[in-house]
Structure 1
Amino acid sequence: MVGWVRITSLMEMFSISRAQASKDFQGYQLLRPNNLRYNKSAKYYEISDGFMPLLLTGKTSELLSIFHTPHTPNPPVLSLTAYQPHASAINPLDREIDLTIFRLISNAAYNHRKVKILYQSLTQADSQERIISPHTLVYSGYRWHIRAYSEHHQAYRDFVLARIKNVPTLIDEVGIDDTNDTEWHTQVPIVIGPHPNLSDNHKTVIVDDYGMCDDQITVQMRGALVGYFLKLMHLEPSREHPDAKVQQIVVLNKDVVKHWVWGE
């Protein structure tokens, strides 16, 4: 992050002794002998010209997530926050989930069991009882849902965890697995490119922003998740903005993608 690190950094972050911190540095240097060199005058280890990531891949998204980590509650990854530039992050509002509900749904998914829930959808005035066979927990970028087979609908559906209104009842029956969930197992290529109405200079900016090749980038997405991805990227048909500078990117293969979003 800042190009150097001291033994005291590890001591302070992990509450370890100087001897242990020195041992950790020695272990790292055995694995990557050309990554760090000791600066005797400054009394710290600094990155060498031949640095090769060991614990990280070196991708920009991965490094930026470290800046984001201190701004999330109870972060799963520790970073030496005192030794990185100031950073600020904006997070979407949390959708609260009852941990008992989460535990039971997760249990059913892992153990391939059916579960009875009371579900409040936005298409029904009242909560409805449903028997489902969960197979995968999914985070859409804004909220968690469970992909499951619904006995009422005789089809695979998505159920938002925050909309389960009771403590689920585990049923001692083997659930229906994901074998026939065609939408889940179908990979859909989503080709994205700069908005065609942007000027050539502005298109170049967008190409660089997203690391596009030949003015486009392809994302492989499960059919069941295409709609969520487009919503996350503001690429839904209902959310497309007429101003190219606002919209910036568009779906280039709508003929392929429309089946999964437009229902055609």
Structure 2
Amino acid sequence: MIHKALTQNPQAKTNSSAQLAKLPQATRDRIAHIDFTLLFKGEAIRADVVNRFSITAAQTTKDFTLYRELAPHNIEYDQKLKVHKRGKAFTPLFDYDVVRTLATISQGYGDGFTGEVKPPLACEAPYHLNKPSLSIVAKVTEAIHKGKALSITYVSLSSGETTREIVPHTLVDNGLRWHVRCFDRRRAEFRDFVLTRIKSAEVLENSTLHETELETQDRQWNRFVELQLVPHPRIKHQEAIELDYGMVNGVMIIEIRAATAGYLLRQWHVDCSTEHALNGLEYQLWLRNSQALYGVTNLSIAPGRAS
């Protein structure tokens, strides 16, 4: 990832860029990790840096001191909680690409942000409908990290713009756009919210979560279903599809969360009708065991099925 210094004014930006450029790569990596965790968790802990980079506590203290010198408005120390918090005037030291950021968040905080990563061969990522706001992503991840509720202004197809409180627990990439899986306090149920439709978000620091709002109570999320995908019966040379999907004995078996099953079935254009009735050329797969979808709640987006 290419990183660019971003600070409070042009002169500070120039100074920070020059200082960052002079740092050893290992130090730069640790500074980037602190910057990243402050942005997306709202706080940074010394023990996290010690464990992440296998360095001494004394070295970590020096890193936090250096970070404070580079961006004094970005970090505040809470004496009571013994934790470094994100400053109210925070501006990231590094310019984060939102697509790479979301990919990195999904694989683990703090990895792969301190240098330009060039793939060995030309490669294009799947095109997403839109890129969510980095600031919105940061608020969502902070709420997840802290175990807090989030107040959002959201625009839906059915209700238009509304303000509501959600309790987020996981970011989900459905292949086209990013969602947040959460408990919606307005409807008292677990749902998915599209990140690009969130206009504003604020972590409710004083919020207390009820047991019914926790990820462990999200039945659709914690339930797994087995999907048996086979070549669509109307296809003449079915071996071609078997090779495409690495099928064994003519079937591909996938275990997937019930909450995300509809997304996969739609993205892969799987004919989910019991009599393989869809005839479009895009339907190269058929769901052989449609009974596995019993109780799955988001089937309205699965081809050939309705909730």
Structure 1 length-normalised TM: 0.62
For residue 180 of structure 1, what is the aligned residue in structure 2?
217
Return the match for 1:128 from 159, 162, 170. 162
**1:4-37 deviation digits (Å, cap 9, x = unpaired):** xxxxxxxxxxxxxxxxxxxxxxxxxxxxxxxxxx
* Structure 1 counterpart of 2:189, one-letter code: A
Change in CA separation of 1:246 and 1:127 when aligned onto 2, cut-off 3 Å: closer
Aligned residue runs from structure 1 range 40-189, under 5 A:
78-79=117-118, 81=120, 87=122, 89=124, 91-124=126-159, 126-175=160-209, 176-189=213-226
Q: What count of residue pairs does the alignment treat as equivalent?
A: 185
Residue 120 of structure 1 deviates from its aligned partner by 0.7
Cα pair 1:193 1:217 within 8 Å, conserved: yes
For residue 53 of structure 1, what is the aligned residue in structure 2?
none
Alpha-carbon distance in 1 for matches of 2:143, 2:266:
28
* Structure 1 counterpart of 2:146, one-letter code: N
3-state SS of 2:152 partner = strand
Alpha-carbon distance in 2 for matches of 1:80, 1:147:
31
For residue 89 of structure 2, what is the aligned residue in structure 1?
none
Residue 79 of structure 1 deviates from its aligned partner by 4.5
Residue 235 of structure 1 deviates from its aligned partner by 2.0
Cα pair 2:143 2:149 within 8 Å, conserved: yes
3-state SS of 2:226 partner = strand
3-state SS of 1:120 partner = strand
Residue 241 of structure 1 deviates from its aligned partner by 4.5
Change in CA separation of 1:152 and 1:236 when aligned onto 2, cut-off 3 Å: farther
Residue 250 of structure 1 deviates from its aligned partner by 1.0
Return the match for 2:259 from 209, 220, 224. 224
Residue 234 of structure 1 deviates from its aligned partner by 1.4
Alpha-carbon distance in 2 for matches of 1:80, 1:128:
42
* Structure number with larger C-alpha Rg: 1
Alpha-carbon distance in 1 for matches of 2:294, 2:129:
30
> Runs of 4+ in structure 1 displaced over 6 angstroms?
72-75
Change in CA separation of 1:217 and 1:166 when aligned onto 2, cut-off 3 Å: same
Which ranges of structure 1 fall in alignment gaps of 5 or more residues? 1-71
3-state SS of 1:127 partner = strand
Return the match for 2:249 from 214, 234, 238. 214
Identity %: 28
For residue 67 of structure 1, what is the aligned residue in structure 2?
none
Change in CA separation of 1:203 and 1:80 when aligned onto 2, cut-off 3 Å: closer
Return the match for 1:190 from 215, 224, 227. 227
3-state SS of 1:179 partner = helix
Alpha-carbon distance in 1 for matches of 2:126, 2:247:
26
**1:256 and 2:292 equivalent?**
yes
